[in-house]
């Protein structure tokens, strides 16, 4: 079997922690090996970089209700199983999220901008951070360890959320002006897709604009 090497380049990666760029999404029913990931700072000041991997091993979703309390909303889902700083997305697979919460698949992934996976049905929706109240209720914020929480203005239609299985490869790693961070180099990361709906993903975002990223992958390995 021929070696299937591919690369993807993102110019000016996202500087939004809730909407990171998906630089690579594993193709349907394939396994891939990430062999190099470099992030370069082309801006005029130092930046911090974060790279995350989503192990999308389950497409399970949870229905919830929402009630407002003062300046924020309380979401109720009996036995939700969430912990503080877990990350969730809303209504990726149908219905509509409550007003004020971005739901749906988000921007599509294209081969020349957000990675090399060409299936346009795959997208990156906005991420929210959880603050657990008890086993049945929780609040959400825009940042890890949030102290200000989000208030929705309507209940939405069949609102659901999915807990993301995310791990950090690097978090807030500094890159000086003109410098390059070798996030993956020498070691290898194995990624897989079990079906047309479950894809491991690599995300990248930076603390400001002017940051580029390039990844090299050996795709369709056994």
Q: Are residues 222 and 174 both part of a single domain?
A: yes
Confidence tier at 55 by pLDDT (50, 70, 90): confident
Domain boundary among 133, 164, 195: 164
Q: Are residues 68 and 159 both part of a single domain?
A: yes
Supply the DSSP symbol for 89. E
What are the structure tokens assigned to 217, written together?
């992958």
Supply the DSSP symbol for 118. -
Q: Are residues 50 and 77 both part of a single domain?
A: no
Query: Hunting for tokens 């109240």 — which residue is that?
Result: 133
Helix (H) or strand (E) holding 165: none
Q: Are residues 93 and 79 both part of a single domain?
A: yes
For 79, counting Cβ atoms within 10 Å of its Cβ (0-12 exposed, 13-18 middle, 19+ buried), the class is exposed
- According to the model, what pLDDT value does residue 153 have? 82
Are the CB atoms for 211 and 39 separated by under 8 Å? Answer: yes
Q: Are residues 210 and 148 both part of a single domain?
A: no
Report CA torsion sign: 109, 110, 115, 116.
Answer: positive
Spatial distance between the Cα atoms of 169 and 16, rounded to a whole number of angstroms: 17
**pLDDT over 70 at 105, yes or no:** no
Q: How many CB atoms lie within 10 A of CB 150?
A: 18
- According to the model, what pLDDT value does residue 18 have? 87
**pLDDT over 90 at 169, yes or no:** yes
**CATH number of domain containing 147:** 2.40.30
User: What average pLDDT does range 119-144 have in this prediction?
Assistant: 79
Task: Report which of 186, 183, 185 is spatially closest to residue 168, judged by C-alpha positions.
Answer: 183
Spatial distance between the Cα atoms of 142 and 157, rounded to a whole number of angstroms: 22
**CATH number of domain containing 200:** 2.60.120
**pLDDT over 90 at 96, yes or no:** no
Q: Are residues 122 and 189 both part of a single domain?
A: no
Q: Are residues 81 and 54 both part of a single domain?
A: no
Q: Are residues 85 and 159 both part of a single domain?
A: yes
Q: Are residues 81 and 13 both part of a single domain?
A: no
Q: Show the CA angle centred on residue 20, arms to residues 180 and 74, nearest 5°.
A: 140
Domain boundary among 142, 164, 186: 164
Q: Are residues 67 and 90 both part of a single domain?
A: yes
Q: Are residues 169 and 217 both part of a single domain?
A: yes
Q: What is the pLDDT of residues 210-222, one digit of tens each?
A: 999 999 999 888 7
Give residue 25's domain range: 1-58+165-222
Q: Average per-residue pLDDT in the chain?
A: 84
**pLDDT over 60 at 186, yes or no:** yes
**pLDDT over 50 at 110, yes or no:** no
Q: What is the pLDDT of residues 60-89, one digit of tens each?
A: 789 999 998 889 999 999 999 999 999 998
Spatial distance between the Cα atoms of 197 and 191, rounded to a whole number of angstroms: 14
Q: What total number of domains does the chain contain? A: 2
Q: Are residues 28 and 103 both part of a single domain?
A: no
């Amino acid at each position: 079997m021929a070696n299937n090497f591919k690369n993807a380049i993102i110019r000016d990666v996202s500087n939004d922690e809730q909407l990171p760029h998906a630089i690579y999404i594993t193709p349907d029913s394939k396994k891939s090996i990430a062999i190099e990931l470099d992030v370069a700072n082309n801006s005029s000041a130092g930046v911090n970089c974060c790279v995350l991997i989503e192990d999308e091993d389950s497409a399970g979703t949870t229905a919830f209700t929402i009630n407002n309390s003062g300046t924020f909303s309380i979401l109720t889902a009996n036995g939700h199983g969430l912990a503080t700083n877990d990350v969730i997305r809303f209504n990726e697979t149908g219905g509509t999220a409550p007003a004020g919460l971005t739901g749906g698949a988000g921007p599509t992934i294209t081969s020349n901008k957000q990675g090399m996976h060409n299936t346009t049905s795959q997208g990156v929706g906005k991420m929210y951070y959880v603050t657990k109240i008890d086993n049945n209720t929780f609040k959400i914020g825009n940042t890890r360890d949030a102290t200000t929480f989000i208030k929705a203005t309507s209940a939405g239609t069949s609102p659901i959320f999915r807990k993301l299985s995310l791990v950090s490869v690097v978090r807030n790693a500094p890159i000086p002006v003109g410098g390059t961070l070798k996030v993956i180099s020498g070691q290898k990361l194995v990624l897989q897709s079990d079906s047309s709906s479950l894809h491991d993903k690599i995300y990248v975002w930076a603390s400001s604009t002017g940051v580029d990223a390039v990844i090299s992958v050996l795709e369709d390995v056994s």
